[in-house]
A and B are shown apart, each in its own frame.
Chain A
Amino acid sequence: MIALLISILMLTPAGHSGISIKDATVGVAAKGMSSAGFFEIVNDSDMPDTLYGVKASFADMAQLHESFRKDGMVGMRPVKFVAVPAKSTFFFKHGGHHVMLMNVKEDLKAGDKVKLELLFKRAGTITVEATVKH
């Protein structure tokens, strides 16, 4: 019964919180290397929310990051949180915000599925299944 309830909760992208996660992907990576996670956070509610953390059991470390570009140079840096205003969509995408996944524990091959836990202030923890893509 509990397992069924958990399954239903995981399959329900937008719970009472109004937060749903779409198109979650993770980049291919060989064991021991880095990867990145991308997705859309859709906030359908009338309340803002904040993504303040991420967990990934398949990597040694998972952090919220953003890439930046300046004067022809590119780099990335950690961010402590991401605010998602009410009735808005926030994109984690290449060249912008992403989940930095360091030292993945197994090969991540195209088509594989992995789970990301996204920690929201209001919505709580939302677990999403991400597809590994090139």
Chain B
Amino acid sequence: MAERSGKRQAMKLQNDAPVYMTMTGNRRQETGNRSDASRFWVPLAVFFLACSLFAGCSRLPVLEDLSTMKYTFFNQDSARVSFPSTYKGKIAVVSFIYTHCPDICPLTTNNMQRLQDTLAAAKLKGVEFVTMTFDPNRDTPRVLKEYAEIRGIKFSDWDFLSGSDANTDSVTYAVDVRYFPHDSTYSKDGTLSYYITHTDKCILLDREGRVRGEYSGSQLDFPAIVKDLKSLE
């Protein structure tokens, strides 16, 4: 919003500029125009000061508003979580995975761990990590916990969520994360194994539960997401 206001202000100044230039030949008028200009420059300076103070809190566009959503999920301890309302008041980085993925999803999880460490080192607090499975039938809370524990994940500010198919579909549809079963095969014990082709995405939620950024999870642009996180602080 501030960015839009800024653009509007800049356009207004640009439109006024030729008027100012035509009066520079007249000293009295020029003085008078300085006064007129200050009417623009002072608010503009205040505006930019406010922008710097709030570090572009509105620099990022709202890509999707999830604030009215309340879908029930269960975290790695089987505790009920309402998504995204449980995380209201916090900035959240939400990634989407399935634990049977051997290549891309572990990269995403590793990147989330690195990001968590990066934020801790930078003393950026109040960021919650959420990893949601789009394979909830296999990824039960217990499985998610095992997946996380073997990776040494710190649960203090990180939830791994599993929910019903319907709730998972609702959330992922809203944030444009797609997935569908791909090749499948049977294990020796007759268990059906399948791979999932899926969107490689993690999202940034602001304190209101609105999507303010989207990134590749497995090829995470660290400088970009850290910059965006700081702008939402």
Main secondary structure of the interface of A (DSSP, over half): strand
Which B135-193 residues have a C-beta within 8 angstroms of A? 143, 146-147, 149-152, 178, 182-183, 185, 187-189, 191, 193
Q: Which of A77, A98, A107 contacts B150 (CB 8 A)?
A: A107
Which of B100, B110, B183 interacts with A77 by CB under 8 Å?
B183
Q: Is B206 an interface residue (CB 8 A)?
A: no
Determine if B102 and A101 form an interchain contact, defined as CB atoms under 8 angstroms apart.
yes
| B145 nearest CB neighbor, chain A only | A30
Q: Which residues from chain B contact A28 at a C-beta distance below 8 Å?
A: 106, 150-151
Is residue A100 within 8 Å, beta carbon to beta carbon, of the partner chain? yes
Does A74 lie within 8 Å of B195, measured CB to CB? Answer: no
User: Closest CB-CB distance, A100 to chain B, in whole Å?
Assistant: 6
Contact call B150/A94, Cβ cutoff below 8 A: no
Chain B, residue nearest A28 (CB): B150
Q: Collect the chain B residues with CB atoms within 8 Å of residue A34's CB.
A: 99-102
CB-CB nearest in chain A for B114: A134
Chain A residues with Cβ below 8 Å from B149 are: 30
What are the residues of chain B within 8 A of A107 when measuring CB–CB? 150
Contact of B102 with A74 in the complex, beta carbons under 8 Å: no
CA distance A72 to B214 in the complex (A): 12
Task: Give A63 to B130 CA distance when docked, in angstroms.
Answer: 31
A68 closest partner in B (C-beta): B197
Say which residue of B102, B150, B182, B196 sits within 8 Å of A30 (CB atoms).
B150
Q: Is the CB of B99 within 8 A of A33?
A: yes
Q: Across the interface, which residues of A come within 8 angstroms of B201, CB to CB?
A: 72
Chain A positions within 8 Å of B119 at CB level: none
Contact with B along A62-75 (1 / 0, CB 8 A): 00010101001111
Partner of B193, one of A73, A95, A102, A108: A102
Asked if residues A100 and B102 are in contact (CB atoms below 8 Å), the reply is yes
State whether the Cβ of A21 lies closer than 8 Å to any Cβ in chain B: no
Contact status A103-B146, CB under 8 Å: no
* B183 near A78: Cβ-Cβ < 8 Å: yes
Residue pair B104, A74 in contact (C-beta under 8 Å):
yes
Which B residues lie within 8 Å of A95 (CB)?
103-104, 107, 218-219
**CB <8 Å contact, A73 and B183:** no
Q: Which residues of A contact B104 (CB under 8 A)?
A: 67, 74, 76, 94-95
Smallest beta-carbon distance A114→chain B, Å: 14
- Decide: B103 and A102 in contact? CB cutoff 8 A: no
A76 in contact with B103 (CB, 8 Å): yes
Cα distance A35–B150 in the bound complex, in angstroms: 12
Which residues of chain B are near A102, meaning CB under 8 Å? Answer: 100, 187, 193
A74 touches B110 (CB 8 A): no
Q: Report chain B residues within 8 Å CB of A23.
A: none
When distances are taken between beta carbons in the complex, the residues of chain A under 8 Å from B101 are: 34, 76
Could you give 18 example pairs across A and B, Cβ below 8 Å?
A: A28-B151, A29-B150, A33-B99, A33-B147, A35-B102, A36-B106, A60-B187, A60-B188, A65-B102, A67-B104, A74-B104, A74-B199, A76-B182, A95-B218, A95-B219, A102-B187, A103-B191, A103-B193
Beyond known contacts A94-B218, A110-B152: 20 more, CB 8 A cutoff: A28-B151, A33-B100, A34-B99, A34-B100, A34-B102, A35-B102, A36-B102, A60-B187, A72-B199, A73-B197, A74-B200, A74-B218, A76-B195, A94-B103, A95-B104, A101-B102, A102-B100, A108-B150, A134-B106, A134-B151
